[in-house]
A and B are shown apart, each in its own frame.
Chain A
Amino acid sequence: MQYLPQIAFVIILGVASWLLFKRISQIRKNIFLGRKESRNDNKAERWKTMWLVAFGQRKMFKRIIPAFLHLLIYVGFLVINLEVLEFVIDGLAGTHRIFAPLLGDFYTVLINIFEFLAVGVLFSCVVFLIRRNVVKVKRFHSIEMKKWPTLDANLILVIEIVLMFAILTMNATDQMIQGSDEHYAQTGKFFFSSKLIPLLEGMNTASLILVERFAWWFHIVGILAFAVYVTYSKHLHIGLAFPNTWYSNLKAKGHMENMPVVTNEVKMMLGMPAEGAENPPAEIARFGAKDVNDLSWVNIMNAYSCTECGRCTSECPANQTGKKLSPRKIMMDTRDRAEEVGASLAKGGKGLEDGKSLLGDYITKEEINACTSCNACVEACPVNIDPLSIILQMRRYVAMEESGSPASWNGMFQNIETSFAPWKFAPTDRFKWANELKKTED
């Protein structure tokens, strides 16, 4: 009987780990629906970028208030999770606060730090809930934020508040039980949770133990369940922000990825020696992107890293002036489509051949045509997501596979082909501007 809690703990831990493993493998598969792209160059620069942007939160600090509140939650997440180590050991070994006697006074200091951060997380989550639901900060209320994205965001904040509250309740009751039950080691006083003691006064030791145990189980099971939930949620950025920044585009933002397939064809047309011209690829890939498998795996990882904060959309000139384009929606659509295809394939379904596609069923031409390629979205993203890359790949599909670009663009293409300028001017007039300078000589 006395091993029952330990057995229960092992089962819960096992189930959570198995669910997490399955889900992470699925996400990995979904990301690799994308085509290959090598981003392993310049490793030193990549580590530095990850260190500064993800770990150091550098780009968050462009907006100081949310940056500060987010920092509290972020540090809380990193540090409080150290305590989970003790939870797991206690759960497996049937001990209670195994580190308390080992660390002595330092344990008291540690838990006080954790509690300070827990209160910080609580405070930030409450302010974030107010910003979303009372102040109604504009970027949280765009069209793409209806239903699930809003519920998801609120759920995350509420769950974090409840989890932090469980820690504080657990610590409060623990301090009250100490001395009455020898299983509970002496820990010294915890500043924040001791403030809750007056609320619990009058309860007998047995009830206190019940509350303490409930809070302990609630917290650890809650954390494990939340970890699984995160993989279905926008909150996945807590993990993916790190690889996502490591695989950042390190080239100038203005640089557009070259298409070697086109280079080969152009070289052949111009009668230049083309690499691989003798061995054309067996299956000619689609030009540009129509669906998730045409995108690079980095694009799809970007989509899974997006936490829907909307900084991109709020900086987008097209969105600010009422156009349909929202860079955040581009990322959300890409993720939704990758999920749909991945889930279908996992069930042995049609996958990509389901008659739907990212461009057309999720993203419209009107959206991608509105982009000015100004890179404001790319600059704004705190985890270096690149919505512009997806937009430009889709434009390539529309122009080269469908010849479906706006009529004025087709006109511009024609002008370049015939007059070598985007406007219809005679090429022989190109140098006439210099005549004015010659006139001044007279």
Chain B
Amino acid sequence: MSNTNMSVPTMAEMAAKGENPEVLFWVGCAGSFDDRYKKVTIAFIKILEKVGISYAVLGEEETCTGDPARRAGNEFLFQMQAMANIQVLDGYGVKKIVTACPHCFNTLKNEYPDLGGNYEVIHHSTFLQQLINEGKVTMKGGGEFKGKKITYHDSCYLGRANNVYEAPREVLQALDAELVEMKRCRTKGLCCGAGGAQMFKDAEKGNKEINIERTEEALATGANIIASACPFCMTMMRDGVKTKEKEESVEVLDIAELIAKNEGL
């Protein structure tokens, strides 16, 4: 391993030393508990470490932003979560937050201000794009993904919800890969089926699962890599690929993983 000293700093440790990191990495519940998405968390940490940015996480002090509770209608629970989180964030004087989850991103950015929590919140796709633009992450020519066909699946909470369409695509272009678009992309992108708390229940009766519809569209591009930027999208697309029995030939990877892999991290 290129970097041998990775003890992820927490806000509590930093505060004890009287330090305040430049940016808080909000890991999110999926990034903390979901075995697949933990790999994305680790990939992103490796990038942060390599770039040498001063960052910290909340560790055990982080709790759910409340997004799924709010989307499912439980406003009380959402606000309880939000208030508690705002107390913690303000307690540490957090100014800037980066997160790899579009749902956390949307809630922290758009909804916490209504409850008194004001932070500069950016999604990791925008963060990575900035690192590339600033030359802090330099893509090796002829890297692992050069010329490979990659299709990007828009997350609704990044795209339509927050108008982030280009940042993840620019990150992918930096890989020197061949970016192929699905029929329904950007503002017309089809949902993976997990938003609005659908991740936490079975779908209503219908004639098809939404993630299968989307996966079929992704597979039709002929791409070997489906790039995503959201933990729920990743789960849905992976399930779709599995159902279609294409796991051998098609991978679902987060944009942070693609960058980390390309960098040999």
Contact = CB atoms under 8 A, between A and B. Distances in A.
A binds B: yes
Interface of A: 62, 251-256, 258-259, 262-263, 265-267, 269-270, 272, 287-288, 315, 317-318, 320-325, 366, 369-376, 378-379, 392, 394-400, 405-406, 408-409, 411-413, 416-417, 420-423, 425, 427-431, 433-434, 436-438, 440-441
B21 interface: no
A253 B58 CA distance: 28
Nearest to A265: B76
B156 to A, nearest CB: 4
Given A406-B201, A413-B74, A423-B33, A428 B195 contact: no
Contact of B114 (A258, A366, A409): A258
Contacts of B161: 252-254, 375
Interface stretch (B61-69, B130-138, B139-147, B248-256): B61-69
Interface centre among A62, A266, A369, A379 (most CB of B within 10 A): A266
B209 interface: yes
Interface in B63-85: 63-64, 66, 68-77, 79-81, 83-84
B198 A270 contact: no
Contacts of B80: 266, 269-270
Contact of B75 (A262, A321, A431): A262
Contacts of A395: 71-73
Contacts of A394: 73
Nearest to A404: B73
Contact of B33 (A262, A267, A396, A425): A425
Given A375-B161, A417-B77, A436-B42, 4 more contacts: A324-B205, A378-B160, A409-B197, A431-B32
A372 to B, nearest CB: 4
Contact of A405 (B7, B45, B72, B191): B72
Given A288-B73, A318-B204, A421-B33, A433 B195 contact: no
A374 B29 contact: no
A438 B38 CA distance: 14
Nearest to A288: B73
Interface centre among A317, A396, A437 (most CB of B within 10 A): A317
Given A412-B200, A437-B42, A440-B4, A396 B75 contact: yes
Nearest to B46: A437
B194 interface: yes
B245 interface: no
A417 B74 CA distance: 11
A284 B162 CA distance: 33
Contact of B66 (A322, A397, A399, A416): A416
A322 B206 contact: yes
A399 B71 CA distance: 10
27 contacts: A252-B106, A253-B160, A267-B83, A269-B80, A288-B73, A288-B75, A318-B206, A321-B213, A323-B206, A372-B196, A373-B196, A374-B195, A376-B188, A378-B160, A396-B75, A400-B75, A405-B72, A409-B200, A412-B69, A416-B69, A417-B77, A430-B59, A430-B62, A431-B59, A433-B31, A434-B45, A434-B57
Nearest to A423: B33
A250 to B, nearest CB: 12
Contact of B6 (A252, A399, A440): A440
Nearest to A438: B7
B50 to A, nearest CB: 13
B82 to A, nearest CB: 9
B29 A438 contact: no
B201 A270 contact: no
Interface in B1-57: 1, 4-8, 10, 27, 29, 31-33, 38, 41-42, 45-46, 57
Contact of B74 (A399, A428, A434, A437): A399
Given A396-B73, A433-B31, A370 B204 contact: yes
Contacts of B194: 372
A342 B118 CA distance: 42
A263 B86 CA distance: 13
B188 to A, nearest CB: 7
B247 to A, nearest CB: 23
A407 to B, nearest CB: 8
A376 B24 CA distance: 31
Contacts of A440: 1, 4, 6
Interface in B106-132: 106, 109-111, 114-115
A421 B62 CA distance: 10
Given A262-B79, A376-B191, A400 B204 contact: no
A372 B206 contact: no
Contacts of B83: 266-267, 270, 272
Top 3 closest pairs, chain A to chain B, by CB: A254-B161, A373-B196, A399-B73
Given A321-B210, A409-B200, A437-B45, A266 B76 contact: yes
A272 B206 CA distance: 46
A433 B32 contact: yes
A370 B74 contact: no
Contacts of B198: 372
A391 B198 CA distance: 14
Contacts of A412: 68-69, 72, 197, 200-201
Interface in B192-234: 193-210, 213-214
B232 to A, nearest CB: 10
Given A318-B206, A374-B156, A440-B1, A258 B115 contact: yes
Contacts of A436: 38, 42
B265 to A, nearest CB: 11
B190 interface: yes
B152 interface: no
A394 B196 CA distance: 13
B227 to A, nearest CB: 19
A288 B76 CA distance: 12
Given A375-B161, A416-B69, A366 B205 contact: yes
A218 B60 CA distance: 77
